[in-house]
Structure 1
Amino acid sequence: MAEPVPAAVPNATDSNGTEVLNATAKFVATPEGTALAYGSLVVMALLPIFFGALRSVTCSKSKELGDGGYDSGFRNSADAPETITSRDAARFPIIASCTLFGLYLFFKVFSQEYINLLLSVYFFVLGVLALSHTMSPAMARIFPESFPNKQYQLLFTQGSGESKEEIVNYEFDTKNLVCLVLSSVVGVWYLLKKHWIANNVFGLAFALNGVELLHLNNVSTGCILLGGLFIYDVFWVFGTNVMVTVAKSFEAPIKLVFPQDLLEKGLEASNFAMLGLGDIVIPGIFIALLLRFDVSLKKNSRTYFYSSFLAYIFGLGLTIFVMHTFKHAQPALLYLVPACVGFPVVVALCKGELTEMFRYEESSEEAEPKEESSEPEKKKDQ
């Protein structure tokens, strides 16, 4: 499963409304500034879902070509998708809750300054790697064919002889190094200034990588995951002040931000509207699954992908509307989960493909090549 801190990401989202309300006590945003801020957040949320879903299809095809083995389909295990099973999905809300409450206790007991310093270094490393991975395909197209692209390998082993075990085996090239250097520049900018643009660059990279590399194995698993996080989100936002406290104290690129006073103060604006990465990645991996289901149908249509994508826009817009109507923080998954699950289910019912949609299983497809390869062996035995 994912790292412990990203598991709490869905919850960091839902302090959005409270953060905005606290800010407006000192600053009253203009209608233009508010519209610009929330419109920008919606656009930024859609970008990693759309492009991450497209890249997840490429990941899935690469995995199939490698006979289900990550090492044969990808140069490095970090580039391989991680499949979320139904058991993982059922445990995820519990792990996220424990992580969130643990952070809450940490901020209550220890100095907020030192915790955020450690988190900044941690997310600096993760952010540089995530941004570098995000940039790699584009940079590969930019560089001319004449570019001297040398290959490198970072190998770290334990033991010797037959007992030798690989600890790290990472292959990269000159283009990857260029991406790493450019990403490090953004990382240093974020580490020193904590500027909102640097925060968003890292946040978008995290979100895109999450949608691309976290794969649900079937629609039922997606429903379990979204259903569990639906309850989790509602409880921690409406039931306690834990999420709000952590989100106020947590300084890390786990949310997208956009200033409501940009028109007045320019790039130095400081009154932000916010959207947590969890509200992008969690629905995003479900939408990416539906795109891969569309591809498996081989009908040259993307009906389920576009229906769920439009559902996400509707759910996010409804979240913003309710938050401003009632002037209270809203758990975004309260609106996003029913929309992202309900819209495609209705479409499947109308097309008579509901059973086919729920029977779609990515893990079974990976096993097919192995079954075929075993047939010649049976014939030899006979």
Structure 2
Amino acid sequence: MSDLQLTLLDEDGALRTLALAEAAAFAPPTAPLRSRVVFAAVHVIPQVHGDNTPGAPADIDWEATLAFRRTMWSRGLGVADAMDTAQRNMGLDPAATRELIARTAEAARAALADPEIAAVFPAGASVRDLVVAGVSTDQRGEHELSLDQIVEAYVEQLRATEATGAGAVLMASRHLARAATTPAQYEDVYRRVLDAATEPVVLHWLGTAFDPQLEGYFGSADPAAGADTLLRIIEADPSRIRGVKMSLLDDAAEIAVRERLPEGVRMLTGDDFHFSHLIVGDGTATTEPGAALAPGEYSDALLGAFAATAPAASAAVQALDAGDAAEARRILDASEELGRHVFSAPTFHYKTGVAFLAWLNGHQKAFTMVAGMHSARSLPHLSRTIELAATTGNLEQPALAAERWHAMLRLAGYAIDEGAA
């Protein structure tokens, strides 16, 4: 047990202390993760000296940004890039997005040439196994688009992404949410975009908690009706669909879709509130060690929460590989407790918590974000974030985290014991 003390700030402005434990012993894998496919949706790290004010082009620290992705790969996790975690539609402009995808794909290609990283991915893995990237229509700005123009915008980004070797994630489009008025129009747009894809893609259903402008996506505000539309898109040609990422924060809705997916189409949970039981699977906490589940009984993962808890996420899948579902649940339950706070309302500001934890864990040298979004959460909110990270085993370097957090409190005018880290 460490003798470090962590000073915390409550909602009423009162200070209190917490004994800080040593870092959790989450060992990196030595072989490929087998039981689940896991992608961590990662953020971007801006230059400390950059402008990065709202409306300015993103000024990215490429060295730190790509190094963070390499830490995901070293844990056997794939990277989901240029998604909402990377601040798509919240500061990451189209030019920076395209450069990000190209640079990450090239870094993945280099990673596969590294024997240590190649060893934790399946033999014959390609760039698209290490990185998938968001494809949307945001390069057209806020202009109103026709359905034909939306298809053209999607296909433009799709071709650019496929050219890098990265896998594609068809993100929910704000343009399409505004332009389409019927389920049939969604089906037509997706069919035409999928026809242009040269490799199977992931479909992304992002809920209004993450982006209020996507109200009624897939043609209905009723998740069950929207699911019917989504499933018709998939069933028209399942060979074109690699998986579905559902981010509705509704585990029952995810399970209902998961059970209806055609063979070979994965459910990649994006539910940062309920991922533990969704990933481990139905009833597995009480099944015999090593009991196999059918694909419709569990979800794989594409999660922003795992960018903040990568060592734990990797350890949980390693536990599943060893047949210890109860240990996997224990690890994931703890990370889910942290995730519920980081993703608390307004949920779309969860990115601030992801960047804050990356800074605490030594993955970036300053707590800064594109478009100044590091100011989107209060000090008491961030205090609770570091407290939960400490108590759930998700501080990778507790002494460094305490030192950085205490410096932040002192900068805000709080008197912290000089003996504290």
Whether TM exceeds 0.5 here: the answer is: no
Q: Which has the larger radius of gyration?
A: 1
Higher RCO by CA contacts (8 Å cutoff, separation 6 or greater): 1
